Amino acid sequence: MNYGKRALRAHKKNRGKISIVSSFPLRNKRDLSIAYTPGVAAVSRYIAENPKAARTHTMKGRMVAIISDGSAILGLGNLGPEAALPVMEGKAALFKHFADIDAFPIVLGTQDEDEIVAAVRAIAPTFGGINLEDISAPRCFAIEERLKKELSIPVFHDDQHGTAIVVLAALINALKVVKKKLGKVCIVINGAGAAATATTKFLIYAGANQKNIRVLDTKGILAIGREHMNGAKDELARLTNKNKERGTLKDALENADIFIGMSAKGALKPEWVKNMADKPIVFALANPDPEIDPKEAKKTKIAVFGTGRSNLPNQINNVLAFPGIFRGALDAEARDITDEMKLAAARAIASLIPTKKLSAKYIIPNPFDKRVAPAVARAVKKVARK
């Protein structure tokens, strides 16, 4: 099936994927007088005197802004804001379907860090949360951190943290299948962008031994003093690679227990897998084509294999995380989404598969499992209200 052609036809026919529908009846003058003038003036006065009431008396408490500058769209690169819009519309549809959250896509005609921060800060009073999407690294790190400091509502860069949460959830269960411990395994992360950076830090927070983590970019293992480094990569190198190793992906995979790919098609050669430790776990998450061809992966000693694709077992997809996370944060009226909340979300996702049902082909719930978003929301809300 050619999904690209089908998508083009469907998007043109429907003129996108979302629309605005009134939640208030407008049948007559009485309804109009309550929804709008003169009745609405009382609501405005009330909110002016009680600012927190904006969450309960307007859409603010159930509305998330999906912000992108179009600089890192899926695996397509910097295509600009207009090209980002169909992806952001899709994200809004997922928010509504999986967590009954009203989300609105806002693509910005600038890729300047200061201008993006100023724009989001200016529109923030309308929303209960901000979801940053498809903003390239390393700018995305600074933009998120600045907005978290300046705003009193949750700010969440899904490319970073949604990915990290679902990777950890899948890894918790994959490690059970191969009977290994997170604190003792050697982890190779191929890619040093937003998702890889957040995943590395989150795995360390969750208990992975940072001495046993090696992160790579296209130039090889990240190491202090290596050429082609920047501030973000220097930080990763300081956190990991304690033996200051240099070399290629093939070198890094020697005796590694886990490969997490956030890079490009074909990055992992099948013949390199034989140098990994016994019962290796491979998450090849490049989209649409993973780092190793699934058919080739079956011929290797890989014990547990996951990708980002919906047509294969063990789909490691952000949709398992972000709807429930925002649902819990909005319900708790949280000001931030903390690492503790993210860890609770990952554990909630993993816990939905009982140990006795775990297998190499079933380590993560299906995105359409209706238990996922409510379970994540409950876990996040519980932590937020401590």
Looking at domain 159-386, its CATH architecture is 3-Layer(aba) Sandwich (3.40)
pLDDT tens, residue by residue, 321-333: 999 999 999 999 9
Peptide bond into 81 cis (omega under 30): no
Q: Which amino acid is at 177?
A: V
Note the pLDDT tens digit of each residue in 193-225.
889 999 999 999 999 999 999 999 999 999 888
Residues 6+ apart with CB under 8 A from 174: 281, 304, 306, 363
The confidence score (pLDDT) of residue 184 equals: 97
Within this chain, domains 3-153 and 159-386 share the same CATH topology: yes
Q: Look over the chain and give the mean of its residue pLDDT values, rounded to a whole number.
A: 94
Architecture (CATH level 2) of domain 3-153: 3-Layer(aba) Sandwich (3.40)
Angstrom CA distances, 195 to 154, 278, 297, stand at 19, 27, 23
pTM of the model: 0.92
User: Residue range 103-123: average pLDDT?
Assistant: 97
Compute the distance between CA of residue 260 and CA of residue 314 in angstroms, rounded to an integer: 14
Q: Two tokens at 57?
A: 């008396």
How do strand 220-221 and strand 155-157 relate by DSSP bridges? unpaired
Token pair in block for residue 214: 């090696």
pLDDT digits (tens, 9 = 90+) for 26-74: 999 999 999 999 999 999 999 999 999 999 999 999 999 999 999 998 8
- What pLDDT is stored for residue 13 in this prediction? 83
Token reading at 353: 């598969």
> Are 234 and 224 a contacting pair, CB within 8 Å?
yes
**Mean pLDDT of the 150-174 span:** 96
Share of the chain above pLDDT 90, in %: 82
SS3 assignment, position 9: helix
**Rounded mean pLDDT, 153-173:** 96
**For the chain, which residues make up each domain, given as ranges?**
3-153, 159-386
Pairwise pLDDT comparison (6 vs 128), residue with the higher score: 128
Whole-angstrom Cα distance, residue 41 to residue 302? 64
In sequence order, what are the residues at sequence separation of 6 or more whose Cβ sits closer than 8 angstroms to the Cβ of residue 363? Answer: 170, 173, 174, 177, 304, 306, 314, 353
Nearest residue to 136 (alpha-carbon basis) of 105, 166, 112: 112
Percentage of the residues of the chain whose pLDDT score is greater than 70: 99
Mean pLDDT for the stretch of residues 334-346: 96
261-318 pLDDT, tens digit per residue, is: 999 999 999 999 999 999 999 999 998 889 999 999 999 999 999 999 888 999 999 9
| Catalytic sites, residue numbers | 36, 91
